[in-house]
Amino acid sequence: MIDMESNTTLVQCYPAHRAAPKDEGSFPAVIVLHDRFGLTPQTRNVANRLAHLGFFVLAPDFYAMPSSFAAASPDLLRPTRGTCFEYGDESAAREHAAVLSDDRGMAIFKQAVSFLSGRAKAAVGGVGLLGFGTGARLAFLAACLEPGDVRAAVCFYPENLAAARPGSLGSSALDGAAALAAPVRIFYGLLDMTIRPDEREAVRRRLTELAKDFRIEVFPEAGHDFFCDDRDTYRIHASKVAWEEAVALLRVGGTQPFTTA
């Protein structure tokens, strides 16, 4: 775990899990946005898997308070692990996800982009986004609101793209889709009881109308959280196919430069 700053001052920044290749050089930058359960070991493992594939990865903790690793900072400002909930504690996870405002989510996203733009091992060319559930919605929103910083966005079962939510920056995340400049891939499970079919179709219809570079894939045997291999919702085939497509898009993506200092 790091804080998303230089770690040399008492400036308090939001913490994140960082994973990078051991080799020298610069690598495509990716931000992983966690689901409603927070920065779980499974989310950190996803970041590590991407690092092994040659990406410089940052997985911010969207639930944490600001922190600092500066030498003079007190222990209470030094995060040791990500904020997360047990999978059995669905109610608490949902409550935290519900109060994560778009303002806070975008502020943390911008800090992550700023951190990556200052790392020699993070290649120029913007960031790729990989989000799950609540984080997938934030990934889509970030691609709409900060198109100059995002080269590609992959969204696993994003919730409420077409619906308004408390604390949102607009009536829905989909309202900002006209500004999308990056290619987007969205993965759903047909058996997902959290995301209604009309939600999926509203997203497909809007992005088609706007002639955006997107693909929506619905896996017939999968439900919500089908990518989480720590849960019984995990589906091997859907996860494998979606992962391969996600990695391919994140590796190529677009060519947007960093615009956040």
Asked, for residue 257, whether it belongs to a domain, the answer is no
Strand partners, 30: 57, 128
Asked, for residue 155, whether it belongs to a domain, the answer is yes
Structure tokens at 88: 């059995």
Q: Does residue 148 carry a pLDDT above 80?
A: yes
Higher pLDDT, 168 or 196: 196
Higher pLDDT, 173 or 5: 173
Q: What confidence tens digit (pLDDT) does each residue in 13-51 have?
A: 788 999 999 999 999 999 999 999 999 999 999 999 999
Q: Does residue 257 carry a pLDDT above 60?
A: no
Asked, for residue 138, whether it belongs to a domain, the answer is yes
Query: Coil, strand or helix: which one is 185?
Result: strand
Asked, for residue 261, whether it belongs to a domain, the answer is no
Q: Does residue 101 carry a pLDDT above 50?
A: yes
- The pLDDT value recorded for residue 256 is 42
Provide the pLDDT confidence category of residue 91 given band limits of 50, 70 and 90.
Answer: very high
Query: Which domain does 106 fall in, by range?
Result: 2-252
Strands 184-189 and 214-219: parallel
Domains in the chain, number: 1
Q: Does residue 200 carry a pLDDT above 90?
A: yes
Q: What confidence tens digit (pLDDT) does each residue in 209-248 have?
A: 999 999 999 999 999 999 999 999 999 999 999 999 999 9
- The pLDDT value recorded for residue 7 is 45
Q: Does residue 104 carry a pLDDT above 60?
A: yes
What integer is the mean pLDDT of 125-134?
Answer: 96
The rounded mean pLDDT for the chain is 87
Asked, for residue 260, whether it belongs to a domain, the answer is no
Q: Are 188 and 195 in contact (CB under 8 A)?
A: yes
- The pLDDT value recorded for residue 83 is 82
- The pLDDT value recorded for residue 14 is 82
Rounded to an integer, what distance in angstroms lies between the CA atom of residue 165 and that of residue 143? 18
Instruction: Report percent pLDDT > 90 for the chain.
Output: 73
Asked, for residue 173, whether it belongs to a domain, the answer is yes
- For 57-66, 146-155, 194-203, which range has the lowest pLDDT when averaged over its residues? 57-66
- The pLDDT value recorded for residue 13 is 75
Phi, psi of 188 (to 5 degrees): -125, 160
The alpha-helical segments, DSSP class H, found in the chain are 41-52, 90-99, 102-117, 134-145, 197-209, 236-252
Asked, for residue 258, whether it belongs to a domain, the answer is no
Asked, for residue 259, whether it belongs to a domain, the answer is no
CATH of the domain at 88: 3.40.50.1820
* Packed helices 102-117 and 134-145: angle between N→C axes, nearest 10 degrees: 70
Q: What confidence tens digit (pLDDT) does each residue in 108-120 have?
A: 999 999 999 989 9
Rounded to an integer, what distance in angstroms lies between the CA atom of residue 234 and that of residue 156? 13
